[in-house]
């Protein structure tokens, strides 16, 4: 599509949703595999929980690379446009994921196996670090002010969509194979399928033009910003801190619900992989619907109350989460994840619009990427490691619940302290 041609909003939203779903499928596939198989294949010399800690350490490196990707992609996204950078992030993520699918294990090449795994995880983190900002901006900048929360939430819905797809693929492979076959080769198939998904995502995103808000802003200036990331830090330090506060509890709780829950169910509570994956599938499916609904509600009553409800609600639910997971009852386990992910959706739904509305167009890609991705280093990346360490040290899930509750309460308070931005015109933000 020509860069100056106007793209129908529904096509933009669909491209953002499908592309984001594919990229997060790749990213979450690693997390699920780290919880279920990487501890045995790449760190086989340790007991299950120690091996899991080491697998989660490689998992965390993807988060370390995300702010770097956000800064690099944001830099060029603010200078040459959103679309080209989105296409690049999709290819990088797909190549890294497919290569993980053909990676030799520790038994085959020794320490080179985890070393190569780490390198590919860094590429994944770099790619997804640039993905979120571009996908959200394409939807938000094409949409209207009255429904921006709803339109910008669809790339957010791609996150549980990707998790649903990744977990579903692993659950399918685990269901039709023995544990031995799944560990031997079955886990590789979902990684290899990424090649097909990336081709589909490329085709769809290539049919979307550049955002008109960005094109207009670029036309109004003599030259694009030289170092937009520096401008963000100098001009909007409060917005970065606000984004960090909003993200802290949301990011920590999400990876507790979607990654640590698998580890606890399989390695601590000794439930089957199939039961754990099926419960997560149900939770991700419900959240996929909840995210745009909560975002639409934020267009009506405001971002702040919806976000605070999710933060404080999940803080309280964290104390029920682990007893329900430990119950052994399939319905209670599913309930634990469904309620947790629904409350998380109350934060994640309005989050995209809330962060987008903090920054002016000329530095918006850099601004939203920094605000969103920097927190992941101390939040989502460390959450699985801290949770497993707390349990190993104390033998109790209560400290883990306290950890999650504290982080979510911080996000709830941050939302209440923030300025309400629903309905603001992006072109008026200076």
Delimit the domains of the chain by residue range. Answer: 9-421
Q: d(Cα 351, Cα 371) in Å, to the nearest integer?
A: 11
Who has greater pLDDT, 162 or 339? Answer: 339
φ/ψ bin of 423: left (φ > 0), alpha (ψ from -120 to 50), beta (otherwise) = left
**340 — pLDDT class (breaks 50, 70, 90):** very high
User: Residue 124: helix, strand or coil by DSSP?
Assistant: helix
Q: d(Cα 331, Cα 246) in Å, to the nearest integer?
A: 31
DSSP 343-406: HHHHHHHHHHHHHHTTS-GGGHHHHHHHHHHHHHHHTTTTHHHHHHHHHHHHS-SHHHHHHHHH
Record the pTM. 0.83
For residue 220, pLDDT beyond 80: no
**% of the chain with per-residue pLDDT over 90:** 33
For residue 223, pLDDT beyond 80: no
Closest C-alpha among 358, 257, 349, 341 to residue 308:
349
Any idea what DSSP says for residue 164? H
What are 102-130's pLDDT values in tens digits?
999 888 888 788 888 888 988 988 988 88
pLDDT at 292: 94
- Phi (first) and psi of residue 328, to 5 degrees: 85, -10
In terms of CATH, what superfamily is 9-421?
Answer: MFS general substrate transporter like domains (1.20.1250.20)
Pick the range with the lowest mean pLDDT from 39-43, 151-155, 244-248, 284-288: 39-43
Average pLDDT over residues 213-238: 80
Write out the two tokens for 364: 């918006």
**426 — pLDDT class (breaks 50, 70, 90):** confident
pLDDT at 386: 93
pLDDT at 2: 42
Which residue intervals of 303-358 are DSSP H helices?
A: 303-326, 330-356
- Phi (first) and psi of residue 28, to 5 degrees: -75, -30
């Amino acid at each position: 599509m020509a860069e100056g041609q106007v793209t129908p909003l529904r096509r933009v939203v669909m491209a953002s949703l499908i592309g984001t779903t594919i990229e997060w499928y790749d990213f979450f596939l690693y997390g699920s595999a780290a919880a279920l198989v990487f501890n045995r294949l790449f760190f086989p010399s340790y007991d299950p929980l120690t091996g899991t800690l080491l697998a989660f350490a490689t998992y965390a490196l993807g988060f370390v690379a995300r702010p770097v990707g956000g800064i690099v992609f944001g830099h060029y996204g603010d200078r040459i446009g959103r679309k080209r950078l989105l296409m690049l992030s999709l290819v990088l993520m797909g190549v890294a994921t497919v290569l993980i699918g053909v990676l030799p294990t520790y038994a085959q090449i020794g320490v080179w196996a985890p070393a190569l795994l780490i390198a590919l995880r860094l590429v994944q983190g770099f790619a997804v670090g640039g993905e979120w900002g571009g996908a959200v901006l394409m939807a938000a900048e094409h949409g209207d002010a009255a429904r921006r929360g709803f339109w910008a939430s669809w790339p957010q819905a791609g996150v549980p969509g990707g998790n649903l797809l990744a977990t579903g693929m692993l659950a399918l492979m685990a269901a039709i194979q023995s544990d031995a076959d799944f560990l031997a080769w079955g886990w590789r198939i979902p990684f290899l399928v990424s090649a097909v998904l990336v081709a589909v995502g490329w085709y769809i995103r290539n049919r979307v033009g550049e955002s008109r808000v960005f094109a207009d802003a670029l036309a109004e200036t003599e030259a694009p910003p030289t170092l937009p990331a520096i401008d963000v830090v100098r001009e909007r330090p409060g917005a970065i801190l606000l984004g960090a506060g909003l993200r802290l509890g949301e990011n920590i709780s999400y990876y507790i619900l979607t990654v640590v829950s698998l580890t606890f169910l399989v390695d601590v509570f000794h439930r089957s992989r199939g039961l754990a994956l099926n419960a997560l599938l149900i939770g991700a499916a419900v959240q996929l619907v909840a995210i745009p609904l909560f975002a639409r509600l934020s267009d009506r009553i405001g971002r702040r109350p919806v976000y605070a409800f999710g933060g404080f609600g999940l803080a309280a639910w964290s104390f029920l989460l682990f007893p329900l997971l430990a119950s052994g009852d399939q319905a209670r386990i599913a309930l634990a994840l469904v309620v947790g992910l629904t409350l998380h959706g109350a934060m994640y739904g309005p989050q995209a619009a809330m962060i987008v509305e903090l920054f002016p167009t000329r530095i918006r890609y850099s601004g939203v990427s920094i605000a969103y991705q920097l927190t992941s280093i101390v939040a989502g990346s460390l959450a699985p490691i801290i949770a497993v360490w707390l349990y190993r040290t104390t033998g109790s899930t209560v400290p883990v619940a306290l950890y999650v509750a504290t982080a979510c309460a911080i996000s709830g308070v941050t939302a209440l302290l923030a300025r309400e931005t629903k309905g603001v015109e992006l072109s008026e933000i200076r």
